[in-house]
Structure 1
Amino acid sequence: MKRDVAIKKNLTKLEAVMWSIALPGFAQLLTGNLVKGILFVLLEFLVNVNSNFNKGIMYSFLGETEKAMHVLDYQWLMFYPCLYMFAMWDAYRSVMPEEEKITFLPFAFSAYFVTVGLMISPKVKLFGLFPGPVFLPMLFVIPGVLTGFLIRKILLKFYYD
């Protein structure tokens, strides 16, 4: 019986991003970038465990956002947005056509905005509700992506034409 040593799969851009959303490093593993994939998975695990992120997610989805705020270690959790978005961009970059330019901007701006959302999350209420350290940063992905795409569009129009 023949065994494959490494799986190398051609992913679409959407597949690469979706596998990275599931867990940073999965897309890299699927495309055969084993060292990078294992590194991203280990880093995600390290940050996740040390920040108590899963407990924070669980409490947030149970509606206990105050409790989520108190179980999280923000010093560790602050690494998560950049790690998460960089792994996602790396997965996207590995399958994108070469002619695509400055595709990192939506990912980078999302990382910036999510980090800011995380930092201000203990103080923010929306419509009298406390979204907490999980849901507020998730909401900050939206302006991050939009800002990144807008700046990319402007740069492509005026700088790369």
Structure 2
Amino acid sequence: MEKLVWSIAFPGFGQFLNGKYLKGILFIALEILINTQANLNEVIILSFHGETQEAIESADYGWMMFYPCLYLFSIWDAYRDSGNRMVPFSYIPFVMAAYFFTIGLIFSPTFEIAGFRLGPVWLSILFCFIGIGIGLLFQKWLLYRKCKGNEA
């Protein structure tokens, strides 16, 4: 759990804790590159201050589109390498989270809920949690089918 949480804090930290130093350096370098090119820290600050339109205008969506997959893959990779018992299909919630995170990012400049635009940070986070939920349901369904297949 510790390695997963550190990867949530910063991609690459979980890999360092797992002793995968080269992979950790790669994830940290990619995080810094994508974060800087996407102007992500500025977008996060503006979003937390409620300046959604400024956050949308500050975002470099071409670079930001790389972030969900890097972020979620880094988290999953740290979890996978942590030595914990792996549940079959454990990657599914992470993959679905990355897909939905990306979809939220794509629609963030125009998507509104009750006339309110959430922007690139909050809509992406909302969609990420939806993706995790769908991924967990899909994983459960796959496990159910696998168990049913073993009974036959």
Q: Determine if the TM-score, normalized by the shorter chain, exceeds 0.5.
A: yes
How far the C-alpha of 1:141 sits from its partner, in A, is 1.4
Q: TM-score, normalised by structure 1?
A: 0.88
Q: Percent identity?
A: 46
Deviations 1:8-42 (A, max 9, x none): xxxxxx21221011100001111211000010000
Poorly superposed stretches of 4+, deviation over 3 Å: 96-99
1:62 maps to a residue whose letter is H
1:114 to 101, 116, 122: 101
Q: Which residue of 1 aligns with 2:79?
A: 92
Find the aligned partners of 2:85 and 2:43 in 1 and give their Cα distance. 39
Gaps of 5+ in 2: none
How far the C-alpha of 1:98 sits from its partner, in A, is 4.4
Find the aligned partners of 2:43 and 2:146 in 1 and give their Cα distance. 43
Aligned residue pair count = 148
Equivalences for 1:1-161 in 2 at 5 Å? 14-160=1-147, 161=150
Q: TM-score, normalised by structure 2?
A: 0.93
Contact 2:80 2:86 in 1 (8 A): no
Find the aligned partners of 2:38 and 2:146 in 1 and give their Cα distance. 41
Q: Secondary structure of 1:159's partner? A: helix
Deviations 1:94-136 (A, max 9, x none): 1253452111000000000000000001111112221101110
RMSD: 1.2
